[in-house]
A and B are shown apart, each in its own frame.
Chain A
Amino acid sequence: MIREMWSRTTLSLLPAFILVSLATGLHAQTSNTAAPTPGVAQVQPDRYPVVVASKPFGESYLLCEMFAQLLEAHGIAVTRRPGLGATEVAFSALKQNEIDVYPEYTGTGLIAILHDSVADSLARDPRAVYKTVARDFMTRYGVRWLPPLGFQNTYAIAVRRATAERYHLRTLSDLAREGSHLTAGFTPDFIGRSDGLPGLARVYGIHLRNIRPLAPAVKYRALADGAVDVADGYSTDGLLARYDLVTLVDDRHFFPPYEAAALISPRLVRDRPDAVAVLTLLSGRLDEARMRQLNQRVEVAGEDVHQVAADALTTLGLINANAPTAKSLASDAHASFWRYMWDRRATIAALTLRHLFLVVVGLGAAILVAIPLGLALERARNAAEPVIRVLGVIQTVPSIAMLAFMIPLFGIGTVPALVALWLYALYPIARNTYTGVRDADPGAIEAAEALGTTAIQRLLWVRLPLAAPVIMAGVRTAAVVTVGAATLAAFIGAGGLGEPIVAGLALADTRMILSGALPAALLALMVDGVLALVERTVTPVAG
């Protein structure tokens, strides 16, 4: 039976395989012709720092830090961009050379990026999955999969030990039997992906009583606290042990293999063989037991990611034990929260300034565009509602999706973050400007017109000053929204106070989350306070 399916798949893949081989052959040839050209080509793509990134969960942070330290130990300069949005954000950035390497999983590459349906045979053969993604990523994107790191991190469906015992749950088939009694908390990613809930429901016939979308950071806590009975996770998650959860056996082998490996950007493949060679040193060196233990140190014991990464590399003999782990700011897991904040004051101040920069520039640009737009719409009222509604629709685009849309246009980092913040701030300002100017004291405006003022004079002398409080209300709304939205800029590597929030969520570190969230809240209050003062000066009459 299995063999039969295997051959069928091989047959169907054969033409594609031949094509791909031809293409890779061609690719190899072009590189060969390029290689002999002397010096210039080799030296020219100068020693830019290798941008090392991760997705926003604990293991990804840890692997990212290991990549970074390994490269640094070999004298290669590195820029860290941990915590990028999710698969789409990280991968879009990689294929456009905005980042150079991040840890990815073969199953994710196959299903979430290549959108291949999982052939049943592949589901059981890690080597076949790896070969497929390695081949297809190179031909489609010029992106290279380094040989796997040595462990799999597949989806795990977890329940509380008490639930498992009460309903006799050991396998996913057991879950299908008892599903109608149970409430699930799944990540939106899992709910939507074909290798997630839809496939699982189809293969096992699982029908749960209720399914609530939960952010990765809160789902384990929700499960442990009894808010939900079932949650999705990763098999190497340290939090599974922390909360004493039971993972159910995938007895029908639904989930494809998720072998972890380093994904390499086209430009790094092209002109930095030194960096690629160093990163390959980790291939095959991390087994599942070791990885789970490292994840536990980060996610359960709350140890510093830099320290854990350094220890792991040292144990593997990949870096010198005495090498200074510069970034390591030893965090005493038991120090008080205020002590923790105090120790990080310089970092927090820098992140706050960075955050303020994003807010001021994004909001400032929105004010410069939205106020004139609101005024123009008052002159062209037929266009007003449609235009403002479009801005309103932009407002409803979820931040993460918005940031993902920005990547093909602007890459990652500051520029796309500013564009996204700008787009979000347009609506409240344009809406309030238009409404405020339109509804400003009609009697006064009519009289001013009847006495011979020009339209421009009425706008500048009457409408605008009278609308000022309404416009300022819009600006203040936009400002507070922008301070909040700017925390998401961390997902596309723009920095700011979202950085510790995203990292803290990924590492289940409440203090770290608060070290970003608290200054962000204070910043929102401060920005609003400053604008309240501005409002007082532009409000025409005190009465």
Chain B
Amino acid sequence: MSDSQSSPRALATHRVVHRYGQVLALDGASIAVDAARALALVGESGSGKTTLLRCFNRMVDPDAGTVEVGGTDVRAQPAIVLRRHLGYVPQDGGLLPHWRVLRNVALVPKLLRMHEPETAAAEALRMVGLSADTFGERYPHELSGGQRQRVALARALAARPGVILLDEPFGALDAITRAELHEVFKDVRRELAMTMLLVTHDLAEAAYLADEIAVMRAGRVEQQGTMVDLHTAPATSYVATLIARAMATSAHLVST
């Protein structure tokens, strides 16, 4: 990079391009997240936000551009080593259905050969508001949808990674449960200084949970900034329209 940063970005992509066959998913997308900050990727379905997130844990290897974690190119180390140091929460939780909760949460600590993986798992469960004593021995199918996502979040936290990638983690939940999970997310951020990358299609959720928002459209990042930045100085008409609509919705909500 041309401009010299004193401390490297926790997460950064530079002009990343990726195709799925004929479909151009990323068309020169660039973002940057400082350590312990939370960035939300917002956009319509197909805008490339999930693909961009997956570049960080190399579930996608882009055709062009650079992807860095902690200032180092992601390809500098084996994918497996990289992934064990990046928390990950998919939309459906992705819990192993035949493993009990505690074993699920202890997965990464075990992969990293940490000393007491189950203690780390129990601690992570406590952070998301679940007691290991009550829930540790349950199977995923014995939990509610919200509890499952809490467990998935705990699994991402258990090995205390510096970065957590969340791919629409609350997308499949009802509004009330989602609101509860928002508080859990905020509690976790207060307790641990982690860099968060959150994919969501909900601008309000993005504004509530993240420090900054990157608006994506057709594989590009239209603008990255705080909600105030996007509102006061939208870089494109798309961003302006998006913000205006979200404002209208919340205004309606307030007025009724």
Chain A residues packing against B (C-beta within 8 Å): 441, 443-444, 446-454, 457, 461-462, 465-466, 540-541, 543
Contact = CB atoms under 8 A, between A and B. Distances in A.
A450 B139 contact: no
A522 B243 CA distance: 72
A451 B97 contact: no
Contact of B84 (A444, A452, A541): A452
10 smallest beta-carbon distances between A and B, as pairs: A447-B94, A540-B98, A452-B84, A452-B83, A450-B88, A443-B92, A543-B141, A443-B94, A541-B98, A444-B96
A451 B84 contact: yes
A443 B93 contact: yes
A540 B95 CA distance: 14
Nearest to A461: B96
Interface string B178-193: 0000000000000000
Given A452-B84, A543-B141, A446 B111 contact: no
B97 A447 contact: no
B244 interface: no
A464 B223 CA distance: 45
B139 A541 contact: yes
* Residues of A contacting B: mostly: helix
A451 B94 CA distance: 10
Contacts of A441: 96-97
A451 B107 contact: yes
Contacts of B49: none
A441 B96 CA distance: 8
B90 A447 contact: yes
A444 B54 CA distance: 16
Contacts of B240: none
Nearest to B83: A452
Interface in B138-154: 139, 141-142, 152
Contacts, number: 66
Given A450-B59, A543-B141, A466 B98 contact: yes
30 contacts: A443-B90, A443-B92, A443-B93, A444-B95, A446-B94, A447-B90, A447-B94, A447-B96, A447-B152, A450-B57, A450-B88, A450-B90, A450-B94, A451-B83, A451-B88, A452-B80, A452-B82, A452-B83, A452-B84, A452-B108, A452-B111, A453-B111, A457-B111, A461-B96, A462-B96, A465-B98, A540-B98, A541-B97, A541-B141, A543-B139
Given A450-B83, A541-B139, A444 B97 contact: yes
A444 B94 contact: yes
B155 interface: yes
B114 interface: no
A540 B139 CA distance: 10
Contacts of A443: 90, 92-94
A541 B107 CA distance: 18
A185 B91 CA distance: 65
A457 B107 CA distance: 11
Contact of A447 (B80, B84, B95): B95
B247 interface: no
B97 A446 contact: no
A444 B104 CA distance: 11
Interface in B92-116: 92-98, 107-108, 111
Interface of B: 54, 57, 59, 80-84, 88, 90, 92-98, 107-108, 111, 139, 141-142, 152, 155-156
A451 B96 CA distance: 12
Contacts of B57: 450
Contacts of A451: 83-84, 88, 107-108, 111, 155-156
Given A452-B80, A466-B98, A447 B88 contact: yes
Contacts of B111: 451-453, 457
Contacts of B156: 451
A487 B108 CA distance: 52
Given A447-B152, A451-B107, A451-B156, 17 more contacts: A441-B96, A443-B92, A443-B93, A443-B94, A446-B90, A449-B59, A450-B88, A451-B84, A451-B108, A451-B111, A452-B82, A452-B83, A452-B108, A452-B111, A453-B107, A461-B96, A541-B141
A543 B143 CA distance: 12
Contacts of B152: 447
A453 B96 CA distance: 12
A413 to B, nearest CB: 44
B136 to A, nearest CB: 16
Contacts of A447: 88, 90, 93-96, 152
Contacts of A448: 94, 96, 107
B97 A466 contact: yes
Contacts of B96: 441, 444, 447-448, 461-462
Residue of A444, A449, A462 with most chain B CB atoms under a 10 A cut-off: A444
B15 to A, nearest CB: 24
A449 B83 CA distance: 8
A120 B3 CA distance: 103
B50 to A, nearest CB: 12
Contacts of B92: 443
A466 B95 CA distance: 12
A465 B97 CA distance: 10
Contact of A540 (B81, B84, B90, B97): B97
Nearest to A468: B98
A455 to B, nearest CB: 9
Contacts of B93: 443, 447
A238 to B, nearest CB: 62
B98 to A, nearest CB: 3
Contacts of B59: 446, 449-450
Contacts of A540: 97-98
A283 B249 CA distance: 106
Contacts of B155: 451
Nearest to B111: A452
Contacts of B81: 452
A222 B141 CA distance: 57
A453 B83 CA distance: 9
A1 B97 CA distance: 87
Contacts of B141: 541, 543
A443 B59 CA distance: 13
Contacts of A466: 97-98
B107 A543 contact: no
